[in-house]
Amino acid sequence: GAVVSQHPSWVICKSGTSVKIECRSLDFQATTMFWYRQFPKQSLMLMATSNEGSKATYEQGVEKDKFLINHASLTLSTLTVTSAHPEDSSFYICSTSEGGDTEAFFGQGTRLTVV
Amino acid sequence: GENVEQHPSTLSVQEGDSAVIKCTYSDSASNYFPWYKQELGKGPQLIIDIRSNVGEKKDQRIAVTLNKTAKHFSLHITETQPEDSAVYFCAASIGSNYQLIWGAGTKLIIKP
């Protein structure tokens, strides 16, 4: 199956700073990338869907100016958490697939801790 | 919109016994039902999936059953092993142009 490489696997940042998370599709043309957020012992919450070369579509309640998504190529999508606050601490995971009815390939996830 | 409910939230079974996790969905148009396994600190991985034109699918110790009339599907793991301990998520999708809707997850604990 496709390999999705997500970096960093964990990051600690100070409140007010920005953090960029990268997701690279190593052997798959990731036309669509999904960004999820997962709190401890909870399910995956879809934050946004990004299509290569166009603006991301954000889920209700997700601030697009706070969670900046760039999907400039078929192999790279980034999520930048701007002006991070402790409540942004979470596990962020990217995923790509050929469609909603095919296997989704996930990155390893990024544990973000804002202090 | 689609809603997926998953039970139980935690399941503890003795090594070697079987484990069953159940999910129900609300949208009768759903036609794709995958199961993912997530180990601690990692992203989920697909373990088995089933489409609406099939009632059951098996892959070694793992099987999934689908009851379209009742709108529920189940994951069955037989002869459980310690490495089966993880969180399992079910999901449902209406089709290619629609996103996956996720269940809440089940933490499976295999007791030695």
What does the pLDDT look like over B33-49, one tens digit per residue? 999 999 998 999 999 99
Tokens of A52: 């290569």
Residue A29 sits at the chain B interface (C-beta within 8 Å): no
Residue whose token pair is 């999910």 = B23
What does the pLDDT look like over A48-82, one tens digit per residue? 999 888 889 999 999 999 999 999 888 999 999 99
Cα B17 to Cα B77: distance, rounded to the nearest angstrom:
9
**Which distant-in-sequence residues (6+ apart) come within 8 Å of B97 by Cβ?**
A99, A100
What does the pLDDT look like over A102-112, one tens digit per residue? 899 999 999 99
Angle, CA of A38, A59 and A108, to the nearest 5°:
30
Which chain B residues contact residue A1 at CB under 8 A?
46
Residue B101 sits at the chain A interface (C-beta within 8 Å): no
Instruction: Report the SS3 class of residue A48.
Output: strand
Q: Which of A1, A43, A46 sits opposite B99 (nearest CB)?
A: A46
Asked if B36 and B42 touch (Cβ cutoff 8 Å), the reply is no
Which chain B residues contact residue A49 at CB under 8 A?
99
For residue B98, the chain A residue with the least C-alpha distance is: A100
Residue A93 sits at the chain B interface (C-beta within 8 Å): yes
Q: Which residues of B26-98 form beta strands (DSSP E)?
A: 32-38, 45-51, 56-59, 62-67, 72-77, 86-92
Cα A69 to Cα A55: distance, rounded to the nearest angstrom:
8
Taking phi over 0 as left and psi of -120 to 50 as alpha, with beta for the rest, B61 belongs to alpha
What mean pLDDT do residues A92-111 have?
91
Report the candidate in A62, A83, A72 with the shortest Cα–Cα distance to residue A24. Answer: A72
Asked if A23 and A4 touch (Cβ cutoff 8 Å), the reply is yes
Residue B43 sits at the chain A interface (C-beta within 8 Å): yes
Instruction: Report the SS3 class of residue B83.
Output: helix
